[in-house]
Amino acid sequence: MHRRQPSSRHCFVCGVQNPFGLKLQFLDDGESAVCAQVTVPDHYNGYPGVVHGGIIAAILDEVSGRALLARGHDLTNLFVTLKMEIRYRQPTPTNTPLTAVGNIVKASAARAVVHGEIRLPDGAVTAEADCVVARPPEEFAERWEPERPYWKVYD
C-alpha cells in the first residue's frame, strides 16, 4: 500500500475536522485493496478495554467501501452501503495498534461486494464484514458537490 486516499472534513471515521472522529488515513494499492492504522481510545469502549461494536462497525464500513477508491479517488467512485454482515470474532482492545484492511470481492459499475477486517498487531482478525454497496441516486451524489473542494489528501 503506497497511495494515500483523500479524506473529508466531517466524516466520523476519516474527517480531519471532526473533533469526535477517529481521523483514519487510508492507503491503497491502486487496484483493489486499502488499509489504515488506528488505535481506538478508551472513550470509544463498550466494556472497559474493549472497542464498542458500533465503532468497529463504522471502521469496517469505511475500510471495506474505500477499497473501491483504490481504482480512483474522485467522487465518481462514491458508493453507499446497502447491506453489511459483521462477524465479531474476538474482543477488539482499546489503546492497541490495529490495522483495518478492505478489499474488493467483485464489482460492477453500479454495485460491488467488498470485505473488511480489523487485525491485531500479530495479524489475528478481531472482526470482519462483508458488504454490498451501490452507487447512490443522483440527487444524493449532488449533495456532495459543496464538499468536493474539501475531499482531498490532507497533510
Rounded distance between C-alpha atoms, residue 118 and residue 129, angstroms: 9
Whether residue 117 contacts residue 127, with contact meaning beta carbons closer than 8 Å, is answered with: yes
Whether residue 67 contacts residue 34, with contact meaning beta carbons closer than 8 Å, is answered with: yes
Task: Answer yes or no: is 155 within a domain.
Answer: no
Instruction: Compute the mean pLDDT over every residue in the chain, rounded to the nearest whole number.
Output: 93
Q: What is the pLDDT of residue 131?
A: 98
The CA-based diameter of the chain, rounded to the nearest angstrom, is: 44
Task: Answer yes or no: is 119 within a domain.
Answer: yes
Domain that holds residue 133: 3-143
Mean pLDDT, residues 3-24: 95
User: What is the number of structural domains in the chain?
Assistant: 1
Task: Answer yes or no: is 99 within a domain.
Answer: yes
Rounded distance between C-alpha atoms, residue 125 and residue 147, angstroms: 34
The b-or-e profile of 74-96 (16+ CB within 10 A means b, else e) is eeeebbebeebebeeeeebbbee
For the cut 70, the answer to whether the pLDDT of residue 42 exceeds it is yes
Letter for the amino acid at 74? D
Q: What is the pLDDT of residue 72?
A: 76
110 three-class SS: coil
Q: What is the pLDDT of residue 73?
A: 63
Q: What is the pLDDT of residue 148?
A: 84
Task: Answer yes or no: is 148 within a domain.
Answer: no
Task: Answer yes or no: is 150 within a domain.
Answer: no
Q: What is the tens place of the pLDDT at every residue in 88-145?
A: 999 999 999 999 999 999 999 899 999 999 999 999 999 999 999 999 888 887 888 8
Task: Answer yes or no: is 136 within a domain.
Answer: yes
Q: What is the pLDDT of residue 75?
A: 61
- What CATH number corresponds to the domain at position 126? 3.10.129.10
Task: Answer yes or no: is 151 within a domain.
Answer: no
Q: What is the pLDDT of residue 74?
A: 64
Chain-centre distance of CA 36, in angstroms? 8
